[in-house]
Amino acid sequence: MVDIKTLILAIDRDDDFGKKAGVEGPVIGREACIDAALKLSLADPEDSDANVVYAAVKLYDELKESGEFEDVEVALITGDPKVGIKSDMELARQLEEVLERFPADGIITVTDGAEDEQIFPIITSRVPIISSHRVVVKQSEGIETTYYVLYRYLKEIMSDPGVAKIVLGIPGMVILFYGLARLLSVVYPDKAKIVSAIVTGTMLLLIGMYFFTKGFHINVRKSLSSIRQSLAQQMIVVISLIAGLSIIVGGAINAYFRLEEYALDLIGSYPGTPLLQGLIYVNAISAPLVIGIGVVIGGKIIQSYLKRDYHIWYYTSALILMPALWVTLDLTTRYAMAILTISNIDIFAKLILAIVDVALAVIVGAYLRGKVRGWGKVEVGTSS
């Protein structure tokens, strides 16, 4: 004999016992479970949940007779028609009630499918599961025809939105896209291959995205809601980021088309090597790059001021440092092209400007840091 108290637990996650037979869970004890199963059998003879309870009672009788465990009890817990958080919370509550009346050391679960087995983590968080039994109802060819069996299971699939999406929704989408491709190939016969490739690619993309999100348990609605919330809270930063990137991209494209003009202005001739072309290009985009970054930082400063973010002091220092960054890019690229002369008054003036700019950034940053010491520290994606 194993010195443990064992609970044989029948699970009805979607509360068919409550909906169809008016049985309220939990149901504890052999006679009470048989009575509940009988009520459900009379209310709906086709429901497999009654067979789950009968199987649990049968297992209870076998273990009781064998004396394999110190003590054995059988019980039924029922969830809620709205399968999910609500039903699982109800199952957890009923399980606690059962364990108060029969403090089991181990549980043997009896279910009729994978849906009921989804609450196993809830059970194991309280009592270990020592065994699991799944009841499969056998069909008699003399009673039910193949047509009726298929009809019944299709009806069950249609009543379960989660299963219907996979079993019917995905094949339906494939057929829909295939029909669309056939119609478009009739309208545009000369582009049939292109239409077919586009439709097939779109179909595979959507199916792949669906399986990917389900496989990695990605809640698309929750993710989109989080993105919308972050955008709403960081709207000024988003606008400044778009503006800054537009300036940088526009400057980069302009520099690409006017590269020879910049080369003539810098070195007096056309660039002869790819390295020289790259240096001239970096020099040409330095101004729009610095302006774009400055616009982004400016948006951060405005956002920080409106939200009283303590970090505003180093955003301001960073913005003041932008001229020094431009001077650094300009002088380093000129030095790499061997066209930098320290004696040149313009070069000397740029160096002085950079030094003064850095000193100003430090002074302003230190001053603002003391002024905003009482402001709150606002993290990205939250609002004060």
Residue 212: its pLDDT value, please? 79
Average pLDDT over the chain reads 83
Confidence of residue 99 (pLDDT cuts 50, 70, 90): very high
User: Quick one: 140 exposed, middle or buried, by C-beta within 10 A (0-12, 13-18, 19+)?
Assistant: exposed
Cα(147)–Cα(122) distance, integer angstroms: 38
pLDDT at 29: 94
8 A C-beta contact, residue 358 and residue 321? yes
Non-local CB neighbours of 261 within 8 Å, separated by 6+ positions: none
Q: How large is the average pLDDT for residues 66-92?
A: 90
- What percent of the chain has pLDDT above 70? 87
Arithmetic mean of pLDDT, 250-265: 89
Per-domain boundaries in the chain:
2-134, 146-218, 227-371
Query: Cα–Cα distance between 18 and 91 in angstroms, integer?
Result: 13
Evaluate if residue 272 carries a pLDDT over 70: yes
